[in-house]
Structure 1
Amino acid sequence: MKTADNLAISVSNVSKFYGDRCSYCTDPEARLNRNMCPECHTVFACSDISFDLHNGEILGIVGESGSGKSTLMKMLYFDQVPSEGAYRIAGFDGRRTDVFGLSSQAKRQIRNEILGMVYQNPVYGLKMDFSSMSNIAEKLIASGSRHVGGMTEVGDHFLGKVNIPLSRKFDPPKNFSGGMQQRVQIAKALSNHPPVLLLDEVTTGLDLSVQADVLELIKEIQRELSISMIVVSHDLAIIRMLCDRTMVMLDGRVIESGITDQILEDPQHAYTQQLVYSIL
């Protein structure tokens, strides 16, 4: 049973806009030109996003390019500062504090100890000239580890889990294929045992066979470790395979949300219907 007590994170009325806004676009009834105010030209990358993520749940966020889903993920990982809204994390203090308002040091602590992030482009998640083992050690050191033997053991464990040959653990990711780079990113993100894992378009640009391997790995990790995950994709077929619940975003807003099976079987919004029909 899903209750308030088993929430991993809670996001309330989060927005990210670029511009000064005006009396027109601050009106809840305002009609924007997609995600831009026709009067002052303020761009709303995300607008009034609210959702909960339960312990052990995989939440999918689906939408076309420019829908705001990646901007939302960057705010959740503190890569971008929101314009408005609140963000509470159970692993930090039981969701009592809006973590958006914390100091940079406290946000780094949350990134290092509570959150894991896998970016669409591995360049943002890995140091390409460092070895795979060094990338994992960097994450472990940031979360407080100091014992070299212990860090090596953790690195071996997670590289093995994501099917990176240990004979290549000292190779830099720049020498790996795109699929292998994503798997090293996943190993790094998991290395500090985060209760929440954020995955942003992790299969985009990969060959179909490699996509299948990465998706199966994500499912296996969730089954074994019961990590709460947010999976962002423009592909509803991927969301269908992985996610318990789904939010559909368009022009910076959530236009539909619910249990994934319900959205697939009975989509309400015209855009969601278009997405669903595209995978039938």
Structure 2
Amino acid sequence: MKDFEQPVLSVKSINKQFGSGCENCSGSKGERLLKNYCPVCGTVYACRDITFELFEGEILGVVGESGSGKSTLMECLYFDLEVSSGEGYISSYKGGAANVFAESSQQKRYIRNHRMGKVYQNPLMSLKMNFSSIGNIAEKLISAGNRNVGKMEARGKELLEHVNIPIYRMKEAPKNFSGGMQQRVQIAKALSNNPPILLLDEVTTGLDLSVQASVLDLIKTIQRELMITVVIVSHDLGVIRMLADRTMVMLDGRIIEQGLTDQILEDPQHSYTQQLVQSLL
């Protein structure tokens, strides 16, 4: 019988710093930092003791201003960056018993290709702009060990239809597409291997409002249909309000408040969260 109480993703005390630290900031618990920056040695503490759990079919929103550490957190979760310290466990990988951050680079590639998908704020981080759209999806499938051209083409067509990209444009390069369509191709690519966890980093930033709405609606529809577990990062509390079941608020590399999204929006406790909510009204 499936254990629905086991978290799909469990993260414990992630820390990420840029710089080696010094006597002024190491072990000081931040008392001598300017926000998350050491004025003596220049070390930036981008993520500080980040801990959370994520359950099946749940959408977790991460909100905060630029420089709060939310995108760094996403880069650590997808192994774009190495964590400085911390643990992470995925229930569908080695029974949730292996700290994924301590695994080999080969195993991390396996997790990226089979257990996670990521949609970046900038499509250039994920898509090869001169490849065809279906070729971009095939690239992810090949990385996961697929070799059957017919099956990969069928899967690519299915996904592009799912994200409302016309099939007659499947062999067109993403460089010819609008920003919203590029994000849709990214989403299709991220979903190609049916990952249980989807990471979305500022996916609507820079898009027109009407395009934002259609991309968000697509994400919500896909998440409900496939029961994917999602982490979505945004500086826009309106995006979080629309999508997230629970919300974490980050400031200066730390989680300063977390809870049910409705609770965060209706009764924020931290002064910074109160300012965020006030700006939404």
**TM norm. shorter chain > 0.5:** yes
C-alpha distance after superposition, 1:152-186 (max 9, x if no partner): 11111110010000000000000100000000000
Partner of 2:98: 97
Deviation at 1:142, TM superposition (A): 1.1
Partner of 1:223: 224
Deviation at 1:90, TM superposition (A): 1.1
- Structure 1: gaps spanning 5 or more residues: none
C-alpha distance after superposition, 1:204-251 (max 9, x if no partner): 000000000000000000110000000000000000000000000011
Structure 1 residue 144 corresponds to structure 2 residue 155: no
* Distance in 2 separating the partners of 1:113 and 1:29: 37
Partner of 2:261: 260
SS in 1 for 2:31: coil
Q: Which moved more, 1:79-88 or 1:207-216?
A: 79-88
Question: Is contact 1:182–1:202 with CA below 8 Å preserved after alignment?
Answer: yes
SS in 1 for 2:96: coil
Deviation at 1:24, TM superposition (A): 4.1
Q: Which moved more, 1:168-177 or 1:16-25?
A: 16-25
Structure 1 residue 7 corresponds to structure 2 residue 7: yes
Deviation at 1:94, TM superposition (A): 2.0
- Structure 2: gaps spanning 5 or more residues: none
Alignment of structure 1 residues 228-267 onto 2, 5 Å: 228-267=229-268
Q: Which moved more, 1:86-95 or 1:33-42?
A: 33-42
Percent identity of paired positions between Structure 1 and Structure 2 = 63
Structure 1 residue 17 corresponds to structure 2 residue 22: no
Question: Is contact 2:4–2:56 with CA below 8 Å preserved after alignment?
Answer: no
Count of residue correspondences: 278
The change in CA–CA distance for 1:112 and 1:272 in structure 2 (over 3 A counts) is same
Alignment of structure 1 residues 1-280 onto 2, 5 Å: 5-25=5-25, 26-28=27-29, 30-280=31-281
TM-score by length of 2: 0.96
RMSD (CA atoms): 1.3
Deviation at 1:23, TM superposition (A): 4.0
Deviation at 1:31, TM superposition (A): 4.2
Question: Is contact 1:24–1:30 with CA below 8 Å preserved after alignment?
Answer: no
* Distance in 2 separating the partners of 1:27 and 1:18: 16
TM-score by length of 1: 0.96
Deviation at 1:11, TM superposition (A): 0.7
* Distance in 2 separating the partners of 1:228 and 1:159: 21
The AA in structure 1 aligned to 2:72 is T
SS in 2 for 1:152: helix
Deviation at 1:27, TM superposition (A): 2.7
C-alpha distance after superposition, 1:75-121 (max 9, x if no partner): 10000011111111112112211111111110000000000000000
